[in-house]
Amino acid sequence: MEMSRKAANLIAASVSLKPDAVLGLATGDTPLGVYKCWIERHAGGEIDFSAATAFNLDEYRNIAPEAEQSYRRYMIDNLYSKIDMRPENRHIPDGLAADPATECERYEKLIAGCGGIDVQLLGIGHNGHIGFNEPGGEFVGNTHLVALSDSTIDANSRFFRRREDVPAEAYTMGIGTIMRARMIILVASGLGKAEIIHRALFGAVTPAVPASILQFHANVTIIGDAAALSMIDGI
Ligand code: F6R
């Protein structure tokens, strides 16, 4: 798909220019095409991830890393098993960490210790969430534990046998963690995202629409298919 190819190329360019780039990665349906492009290009010898580092945006709490629905497993199945990024350079919050506060601090320090994120890939939830920063009364800065909203649990229940099996909590990079990335690429596809894309980009900047904060980022690129961008005039 054209959208995925564009996003994949932009990030691949960053890795070519800076082989030890620090990438922020997302899960969900939308980035799958990006990962497919990278896998193909890697197989063709065009991209080398061997010096790159990656941090995932989020992970469910109380889910084993090898569980089918864990984001760690998603990353291995959809990307890491098919490219050459070193296992010690692939980071994701530990869903089984004993103490959430310690885990959040560890993750945040690890990102800072690697020099911060060069390029952050984002999807967007139907409610405007980025990572698992759900709509709320304030923007939360750093990596933190969140209670997932009903709409997110509904949306994600497609990956679980029963809705009750969807974890109620997740770790997520905070809005500050995301905004500190030097470059942000948000991908969106389908008519179901059209309204939220419009609100996020042209509506008020408010924690009620977490993605709206991206209006204040100096280097953000939105890449969507025609349906997702259909409510934006002039496109
Ligand atoms: C996933 C993530 C979420 C998704 C969002 C959209 O790591 O952080 O914010 O990007 O829920 O998901 P899809 O792409 O499945 O529509």
- The radius of gyration of the chain's CA atoms, rounded to the nearest angstrom, is 17
Using a 6 Å cutoff on CB, does residue 28 contact ligand 1?
A: yes
CATH code of residue 73: 3.40.50.1360
Using a 6 Å cutoff on CB, does residue 129 contact ligand 1?
A: yes
Tell me the best of 30, 36, 153, 160 to mutate to test the pocket of ligand 1, counting ligand atoms within 8 Å of each CB and taking the most: 30
Give buried/exposed letters for 165-203 (b at 16+ CB in 10 A, else e): ebbebbbbbbbebbbbbbbbbbbbbeeebbebbbbbbee
- Domain assignment present for residue 208? The answer is no
Write down the pLDDT at residue 112: 98
Token pair listed for 214: 């991206």
Sign of the torsion formed by the C-alpha atoms of 52, 159, 147 and 33: positive
- Domain assignment present for residue 215? The answer is no
Using a 6 Å cutoff on CB, does residue 128 contact ligand 1?
A: no
What is the 123 CA–ligand 1 centroid distance (Å)?
A: 5
Using a 6 Å cutoff on CB, does residue 58 contact ligand 1?
A: yes
Token pair listed for 63: 């889910």
> What pLDDT digit, counting tens, does each position of 187-205 carry?
999 999 999 999 999 999 9
Using a 6 Å cutoff on CB, does residue 131 contact ligand 1?
A: yes
Of 184, 95, 175, 191, which is closest to residue 143 (Cα–Cα)? 175
- Domain assignment present for residue 127? The answer is yes
Pair 153, 126: CB distance under 8 Å: no
- Domain assignment present for residue 210? The answer is no
Tell me the best of 23, 57, 91 to mutate to test the pocket of ligand 1, counting ligand atoms within 8 Å of each CB and taking the most: 57
Write down the pLDDT at residue 174: 98
- Domain assignment present for residue 207? The answer is no
What is the 131 CA–ligand 1 centroid distance (Å)?
A: 7
Mean pLDDT of 83-110: 97
- Domain assignment present for residue 213? The answer is no
Residue nearest to atom 12 of ligand 1 (CA): 28
For β-strands 119-122 and 183-188, DSSP reports them as: parallel
Mean pLDDT of 136-151: 94
Using a 6 Å cutoff on CB, does residue 130 contact ligand 1?
A: yes
Using a 6 Å cutoff on CB, does residue 57 contact ligand 1?
A: yes
What is residue 149's DSSP assignment?
Answer: P
What is the 130 CA–ligand 1 centroid distance (Å)?
A: 7
- Domain assignment present for residue 205? The answer is no
The angle formed by the CA atoms of residues 25, 71 and 69, to the nearest 5 degrees, is 150
Contacts 24+ apart (CB under 8 A), 43-49: 43/82, 46/12, 47/12, 47/15, 47/16, 47/83, 48/15, 48/19, 48/84, 49/15, 49/83, 49/84, 49/85
- Domain assignment present for residue 186? The answer is yes
Catalytic residue annotation:
58, 127, 129, 134
| Nearest-angstrom CA–CA distance, 119 and 13 | 11
CA 91 and chain centroid, separation: 13
For β-strands 58-60 and 90-91, DSSP reports them as: unpaired
> What pLDDT digit, counting tens, does each position of 61-70 carry?
999 888 999 9
Please state the domain count of the chain: 1
What is the 126 CA–ligand 1 centroid distance (Å)?
A: 9
pTM assigned to the model: 0.96
| Nearest-angstrom CA–CA distance, 186 and 113 | 24
Residue 1: pLDDT over 90 = no
- pLDDT > 70 in the chain, percent: 99
Write down the pLDDT at residue 69: 93
Write down the pLDDT at residue 235: 66
Name 226's Cβ contacts closer than 8 Å, sequence gap at least 6.
235
| Nearest-angstrom CA–CA distance, 192 and 190 | 5
Q: Which structural domain range is residue 186 located in?
A: 2-190+220-224
What is the 26 CA–ligand 1 centroid distance (Å)?
A: 7
Write down the pLDDT at residue 194: 98
Residue 89: pLDDT over 90 = yes
Of 193, 195, 164, 210, which is closest to residue 58 (Cα–Cα)? 210
Write down the pLDDT at residue 84: 96
